[in-house]
Structure 1
């Protein structure tokens, strides 16, 4: 099954006003003016990737109705060439495989699909392995030592003793209400 990507390079359908196409795309993609300006910068920008033929045609037709010329391009399977592992003595490689099965010395090279990806063609990325199930992925940390604090100058007060809290002021006496009477 072939996969496709939809890209846009700022081209509009002949006869369509640029402002109207920008407004249509802003509504279609629910984007702000800054993102729409980026779409019309003249650079080829991938809108959606990994579509089947029907999905790619639907995107192209929708963008064409909005007044934009969409670029539909078939994705080619990228070739990944693996470098051979470094040569090591048999005894050393067996010991290394037993102690660190997650690390590998191979690196991957990706063949670029366009000029943007060509900038990364000289990058060599290590091929990291996958740790076995249940392996601890963090480095071991030493146990924290309790600080040496001298508490010999402190003692406990007996139960119920005054610990030096501030005394609350005595409550004022209730007002005298004996002279107040109810009239009938």
Structure 2
């Protein structure tokens, strides 16, 4: 089975502002400014390695949605077998260092990042965990009652006392 790695060179998509892509990548990987400086230094940084092609493609899509560019490369068994891969066009000026830095120093930027490989459930599978038997709570609900079906559940109407007017001063006349 082929093993892949996700490589980032600090490049930003042409249609995205570099500051916006930097902020989105910071949110995606939950890293601070110091680690973002290392990411966007223009150096080759392996984001994740030891992935199958589908998982590596998910990382690439997430990074591209954030506005940056990355590569998914197959991992060679030995350095002699590794063929140099062409680097895509840079949309912002990258600062190249004269001396190569060990790979572990770059990976140290991601030592605090928790990015688990979460699987995706197959189509149509049940996503709800099985319910375990539970003991019912001992609640006293005797103070509550239910309205009969069809009842008006609006606010209770307050009863207004009936006022009987005094009509003793009125008389009826017979006119025949």
Pair member with larger Rg: 1
| Bigger RCO (CA 8 Å, 6+ sep) | 2
The bucket for the TM-score relative to the shorter chain is 0.3 to 0.5
Q: Would you tell me which structure has more strand in proportion to its own residues? A: 1
